[in-house]
Amino acid sequence: MSEGDSIERLFVAVPLPTPVSERLVRMQPPSQAGVRRIARNDMHITLHFLGRAKTAPVSQSLRSVEARQFSVRLAGRGSFSLRGPRTILWVGVEPVAGLIALHEKTAKALSAVGLKLEGRPYRPHITVARLAARAPRDLIESFKGLSQPEDDIDFECSRYALFASETAPKGARYRELGSFPLNAGS
């Protein structure tokens, strides 16, 4: 099998600028048993989780997407319950037109190469921590009750990327496989 035929656990996302991810790190709960903080370099806005797929056709399909740069504003915090007693803590992303258009255009390109995408509604967010059952339950409410430091966080999105997710004992790590520029506005 050639390198272009490799099968990896893939997702498509908008990477965060370093100053944004550094601010989000300061919002994470303290490191303790049952809390897995997301590394600054691993924070992103997921467009599509693909699961195991061949990298070459996915990358090729994403090269065909034409979309404009856009500005994103963070808004609110919350949590999602996952299978079992696990929870993720997230910071919300306003669903601005440019982000929604990029989500839809990448979906169309990925579907064209036969990938089956999630059917649930798109809820843009940035995961900042994952909680196991043994994490103190009051962490969720204290995270949601923080003052609103994300209210003044906004940034320009000038690219999106294809990532491979690699599992490790201390949690998944992400490796960028390709970057795709967004067109500058006129």
pTM to 2 decimals?
A: 0.90
Domains and CATH numbers, the chain: 3-181 (3.90.1140.10)
Strand partners, 156: 71
Residue 147's pLDDT is 65
For 65, the 3-state DSSP assignment is coil
List all residues 6 or more positions away from 119 whose beta carbon is below 8 Å from its beta carbon: none
List all residues 6 or more positions away from 75 whose beta carbon is below 8 Å from its beta carbon: 92, 93, 94, 150, 151
Calculate ∠ Cα 90-96-102, nearest 5°. 95
Contact 25, 40 (CB under 8 A): yes
What end-to-end distance do the CA atoms of the chain give, in Å? 43
Per-residue pLDDT of the chain (186 residues; tens, 9 = 90+): 345 568 899 999 999 999 999 999 988 998 888 999 999 999 999 999 999 999 999 999 999 999 999 999 998 888 988 776 789 999 999 999 999 999 999 999 999 999 989 888 999 999 999 998 888 878 888 888 776 655 678 999 999 999 999 887 777 889 999 999 999 865
